Structure 1
Amino acid sequence: MSKTFIKMSIRLTAIMVVWTACYADNPIVQTHYTADPAPLVYNDTVYLYTTHDEDELVNNFFTMNDWRCYSSTDMVNWTDHGSPLSYKDFSWASGDAWAGQCIYRNGKFYFYVPMKLKVGGKAIGVAVATDPAGPFKDPLGHPLVGNDGSWGDIDPTVFIDDDGQAYLYWGNPYLRYVKLNEDMISYSGDVVEVPLTTESFGVRSKDDRATQYEEGPWLYKRNDLYYMLFAAGPIPEHIAYSTAPSAVGPWTFRGVIMPTQPTSAFTNHPGVCEYKGNWYFFYHNAALPGGGGFNRSVCVEQFEYNEDGTIPTIKMTKKGAPQIGHLNPYDTVQAETICWASGVKTERCSEGGMNVCNIENGDYIKVKGVDFGKGAASFEARVASGSEGGAIEIRLGSPKGTLAGTCAVPGTGGWQTWKTVTCTVDGAAGVHDVFFVFTGESGLLMNFNWWKFHPVK
């Protein structure tokens, strides 16, 4: 699906979903289609690794060439770090950058990802980086597991137990695991296949498989209990889970966490993390305009465990997780730090990191929970334009809310020729959702790198 079609979809449905665009926080990424969320908490920040459903499908099937990385410190405003890894970074792979998971150990980040082999079926590789946002590199030059021609070696989940032993689980329609060595790029012992019994993984409503287990395992530990979440069948998938007294079982089926719902895609994929004393459940659906089974979007909900440690039923919501704290507008904030966006995309920036691009008249970015304190006096933005430019309207509360300032953006001679522009601000005090509304003539207006407010003296 082309970017132009996505923009048309958003604008044609604007009247029907305007409240969603103004007040919803789910899905958490709107600039790209994302799926298969894998959260990682590191240095007081949640890093979220996702797959990337391309806008334009090939053969009307999953078209996925790379993985993407986002981060947040408040669970609502997410910074886009771009793509830290592609299947093209693996000499032995030919495509299908499907669901993976990243983990930190001994100063490095290990990203376990499945791909299609150049010859044969699917296999799982590992890539290593010293920064959570990458870039990641393949240290092996060959798959870590699954080089036997099977098509089911997908959806790895990785977990390090309290005793230091690391485990890698994966598979569809089977569930297998290995014990990773401390180097995290090799393993010891045999590949173990987990018995899929109804006592362990639930009774399926159809007889196409033995249990509810379908794919997408997610392993973690809370207190003394090990949790195995998974995408459950039949199609369309729901999310269910099992628990065990150890990382290798025996597993006991505990029930459904997320039933299929009106915005469900035909797949789903769980991810769970604890952050700042709260627990979060990540999943994907088809809620964005133009969304569907092959154009999915990642969402998040906050939840609490029941007293006995079981997980409650979790509904998909447009509201999403509550914000933790507020955003400081007097720091330099990357323009690709977004709670909600309409019409725009992101790309690599010549000044480093990412910038917001594909900006046309009427597009906007929402940044949630901005605390201006006693008030802002001025605003500056780093912009570039290969056209005649336009303007950034600073509005409070909604895209048509109180106008606090207007920053003119001239043509700069190129889409990566950057200039800092400034304007005065009036009426921005206290906490507000801030909307940067882009205005101008038809066509592309500008690119947007970062912004910063300055307080009243």
Structure 2
Amino acid sequence: MNKLKLLSILGIIAFILTGMMSYAQNPIIQNVYTADPAPMVHNDTLFLFTGHDEDNATEKGFIMKDYLCFSTVDMVNWTQHAPIFNVDSLGWAAKYNANAAQAIYRNGKYYFYISPWSGLADGGDCISVLVSDSPYGPFKDALGKPLISSSQTNYNPHLWEDIDPTVFIDEDGQAYLYWGNNSLYCVKLNEDMISYSGDIITFDIKDTTAFGSDYEEAPWFFKRNGTYYLFYAAHIPEAIYYATSASPLGPWKYGGVVMKGMAQGCIGNHPGVIQYKGNWYLFYFNQDLPGGHDKKRAINVVPFDFNSDGSISELLHSKAGVTKPVANLNPYIRTEAETFAWEEGIKTASNLKIGTYVTDIDNGDYIKIRSIDFGKGASTIDVCIASLKGGKLEVRTDKEDGALLATIKVNASSEGDIYKTITAKVKKVTGVHDLYFVFKGESDLFNFDWWRFSEKK
């Protein structure tokens, strides 16, 4: 093969890989390891509550200290918020066991059902309920003890069967809580959402008409067009399956496979299903981030739809994820710097004074925000920055090396906690574009809090 042909082939490969990265949307969070997705819609916003795999976790075991919250109004750009709860603050639970959880809104409050390992006398995993006035927290222990303890359940003798809670409020106001590993339980929650009435209902997971060949864990309960759906994980590697019922308490009828084991590239999986702005989405996890493995996971999302009879066809993992946003982002209102569709290199941090901000910014790092509608044009951009070693912020459209709208110079000051607003003129830009903030300098350039364009008069 001659050199010219080889260079042509390599150029084509590089072009394809660059295109794949430009359109990649999964995993949807790249700057932190996340797992066990729990989407919730309230008003115009989709909130995504997640587990958090620590950077120092090895394949020998999970290290999960706290829960995280992200939000979106367009399904392509995600805003990261401060951690909402650390299991250590319970006082009665073991460390590093922030297992799967789900949140729900009722009567002005947000209830967050978690499944930590209890340090109380009966031990084992348990179901606990937290409460907050805001989806961003802070959440507090509502009972000071578990809502469900391992001594109350005995379908399976192991101590970790009381995990993975999923909660749902029906049209008649009755709330239901399902959970279970190698077992499946349900209770009817009272209106206060922190207590329940009646006995714990136990389902026979060996009933193949209800759950097919196996039920393992990770139930997700919801309703569509009068039919109740239960997604769940089973087998090793874990596949996602579903069952349906005409009643919130069964009997369940096995529906089929939603996503095959290892189809997404990870031995485990955990579904989260939500309808948002007329579209249905499946959240799940893999290990696709750099340094990832089955104890350092990453959440993905794909759109899906139901067949005319309510059944669900098998879904495939997609690197592209959500290709069509449900809304465009307005650049003329303040947007947090920690709102992005994709990033390379950066981290986020939080404090009580500023909230969450972008940090650990080095040369060549960048942030991508999708589907910005500039309308008839912008005149200037404001950025709120706290300088460290200083550097440059390049504002570009559509590609990392796309059209340059503005270059903002940040002088070195080592004042990482003193934020200043810098204004710069921007070149002509109209219509809808992706936006890139590309960082130039050496290392630890500055901290980045928010940005906003001004509309051309």
TM-score scaled by length of structure 1? 0.92
Report 1:3-402 matches (<5 A).
18-57=18-57, 60-95=60-95, 96-119=97-120, 120-148=123-151, 150-196=159-205, 197-203=207-213, 211=214, 213-233=215-235, 235-261=236-262, 263-321=264-322, 322-387=324-389, 389-402=390-403
- 1:16–1:33 CA distance, 2 compared to 1 (3 A): farther
Give the secondary structure class of the aligned counterpart of 1:116: coil
Give the secondary structure class of the aligned counterpart of 2:126: strand
Residue 430 of structure 1: aligned partner: 431
Q: What are structure 2's unaligned runs of at least 5 residues?
A: 1-13, 152-157
Deviations 1:366-414 (A, max 9, x none): 0000011122121110011232x11110111111111111111123442
Letter of the 1:346 partner, please give it. Answer: T
Distance across 1 between alignment mates of 2:374 and 2:429: 6
* Greater Cα offset, 404-413 or 301-310: 404-413
Contact 2:114 2:129 in 1 (8 A): yes
Report the Cα offset of residue 261 of structure 1.
4.0
Give the secondary structure class of the aligned counterpart of 1:220: strand
Give the secondary structure class of the aligned counterpart of 1:82: coil
Residue 8 of structure 1: aligned partner: none
Report 1:396-411 matches (<5 A).
396-411=397-412
The count of corresponding residues between Structure 1 and Structure 2 is 433
Deviations 1:238-285 (A, max 9, x none): 110000111110000000011134542111111111111111111111
Give the secondary structure class of the aligned counterpart of 2:82: coil
Report the Cα offset of residue 111 of structure 1.
0.1
Letter of the 1:159 partner, please give it. Answer: F
Letter of the 2:378 partner, please give it. Answer: A
Contact 1:350 1:416 in 2 (8 A): no
Distance across 2 between alignment mates of 1:437 and 1:335: 12
Which portions of structure 1, spanning 4 or more consecutive aligned residues, are displaced by more than 3 angstroms?
14-21, 349-352
Report the Cα offset of residue 58 of structure 1.
5.7
TM-score scaled by length of structure 2? 0.92
Report the Cα offset of residue 15 of structure 1.
9.8
Contact 1:21 1:340 in 2 (8 A): no
Contact 2:59 2:295 in 1 (8 A): no
Distance across 1 between alignment mates of 2:52 and 2:163: 16
Contact 1:261 1:316 in 2 (8 A): no
Residue 6 of structure 2: aligned partner: none
Deviations 1:63-117 (A, max 9, x none): 1111100010100001111211110221111121011000011111000001112
Contact 1:84 1:134 in 2 (8 A): yes
Contact 2:349 2:357 in 1 (8 A): yes
Distance across 1 between alignment mates of 2:403 and 2:142: 53
Report the Cα offset of residue 346 of structure 1.
0.8
Distance across 1 between alignment mates of 2:116 and 2:325: 35
Distance across 2 between alignment mates of 1:39 and 1:57: 25
Distance across 2 between alignment mates of 1:415 and 1:359: 12
Give the secondary structure class of the aligned counterpart of 2:127: strand
Deviations 1:286-338 (A, max 9, x none): 12222221111111111111000011211111111220121111111000111
Q: What are structure 1's unaligned runs of at least 5 residues?
A: 1-13, 204-210
Contact 1:155 1:171 in 2 (8 A): yes
Distance across 1 between alignment mates of 2:300 and 2:17: 17
Contact 2:274 2:281 in 1 (8 A): yes
% of aligned pairs identical? 48
Distance across 1 between alignment mates of 2:140 and 2:19: 42
